[in-house]
Homo-oligomer: A and B are copies of this chain.
Amino acid sequence: MTEATVPDIVISRLPWYLQTLNQMAKEGLRTVSSKMLADRLGSTAAQIRKDLSYFGGFGKQGTGYSIYYLIEQLQKILNLDRIWQVAVVGAGNLGRALTHYQGFARRGIEIVLLFDNDPKAIGAKVGSVVVRHVDSLEAEIRQAGVKIAILTVPGAVAQQIADRLVKEGIVAILNYAPVTLMVPEHVHVQHIDPVLHLQRLMYYLEAN
């Protein structure tokens, strides 16, 4: 219940912690200090301890964290202890690349629906997923009970598609379209725009 008060910026760091812990476990490590984790992540030990403290203590002072226990707890906090079904809207290069992406299944994400409006694309198979017409979006989303969508449509139609998704019960959207979406408060959007990410990097470049 206290979780409602965890700042979004803290939540955004948990998947990074989890990924790095999984990598450490693969390397055979069993325990980790917040300092070790911080070094891998370019963060600070204090930051990591503070972030984790929102969810209770996970280790004893001085002895570090059990990596497996910490992984298990983070998975529980992030609701990753189950499989999440996801719909992709937009079957262009990016939509198809995402639907093919091997890294999803390994981490509990299953793409079950893929939509497009191009008649030539409808019916084609991308991996094991058939491209469906976007006109059937409402019916399919509702029937499958999917709560998460990935948007890889052009910017001009993104808001309209988002509205339709939200109406059918989608509450989480990963948005690759180059627009800021307006959604009701109960819907969470993550925006991935390569341009915005590149622009942030350019700040650090010497203009010459």
Residues of A within 8 A of B (CB): 9, 11-12, 14-16, 18-20, 23, 40-41, 77-82, 84, 86, 92-94, 96-98, 100-101, 103-104, 107, 109, 147-148, 150, 155, 171-174, 178-180, 188, 190, 192-205, 207
How far, in angstroms, from A179 to B100 measured CA to CA in the complex? 18
B residues less than 8 Å from A97 (CB atoms): 92-94, 97
Contact at A196–B79, with CB atoms within 8 Å? no
**A82 contacts which chain B residues (CB < 8 A)?**
207
Query: Could you list 19 A-B pairs, sorted by A, with CB under 8 Å?
Result: A12-B200, A15-B195, A15-B197, A19-B196, A79-B203, A80-B202, A93-B100, A94-B94, A104-B195, A107-B195, A109-B198, A148-B198, A148-B201, A148-B202, A150-B198, A172-B202, A172-B205, A174-B201, A192-B194
